[in-house]
């Protein structure tokens, strides 16, 4: 849903906002429902990016590239585990339950993520830099900016 219009001159801008909101909704996997442009936060900026190579380099440069590559090579689930782990506030039990795996499987995956990425998952900077990539592995902001994977 785009912004409100005070007159006919505002229609094109609101329509553009509605298109971006729809694109972000589709990229995030949010499903059916209403997505309001004015509630999208930083994703509003990301959706406006024309040149996706800078977003792609950021995705890889955040050091999740090795984990994404590992998942591709090994057909593992590290990045979905990372996304859920962060969404569950670093709680192993909640993460394991949400993923439908045993707690020890979840702990093993998180340990592998730490080893491969070199990141301390309790670091607030890691959370901040990673939050825009959830749900992984289809990096949400990368997809919102038009990236493909």
pLDDT, tens only, 60-98: 555 677 888 898 899 999 988 988 888 888 999 999 999
pLDDT, tens only, 94-116: 999 999 999 999 999 999 999 99
| Of the candidates 49, 56, 117, 58, the residue with the CA atom closest to the CA atom of residue 82 | 117
| Of the candidates 123, 121, 117, the residue with the CA atom closest to the CA atom of residue 107 | 121
pLDDT of residue 135: 42
């Amino acid at each position: 849903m785009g912004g409100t219009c005070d007159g006919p001159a505002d229609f094109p801008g609101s329509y553009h906002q509605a298109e971006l909101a729809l694109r972000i909704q589709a990229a995030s996997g949010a499903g059916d429902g209403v997505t309001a442009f004015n509630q999208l936060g930083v994703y509003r900026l990301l959706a406006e990016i024309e040149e996706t190579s800078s977003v792609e380099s950021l995705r890889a440069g955040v050091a999740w590239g090795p984990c994404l590559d590992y998942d591709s090579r090994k057909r593992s689930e590290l990045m979905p585990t990372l996304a859920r782990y962060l969404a569950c506030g670093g709680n192993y039990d909640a993460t394991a339950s949400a993923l439908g795996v045993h707690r020890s499987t979840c702990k093993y995956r998180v340990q592998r993520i730490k080893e491969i990425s070199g990141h301390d998952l309790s670091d607030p900077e890691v959370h901040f830099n990673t939050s825009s990539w959830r749900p992984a592995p289809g990096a949400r902001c990368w997809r919102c900016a038009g990236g493909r994977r």
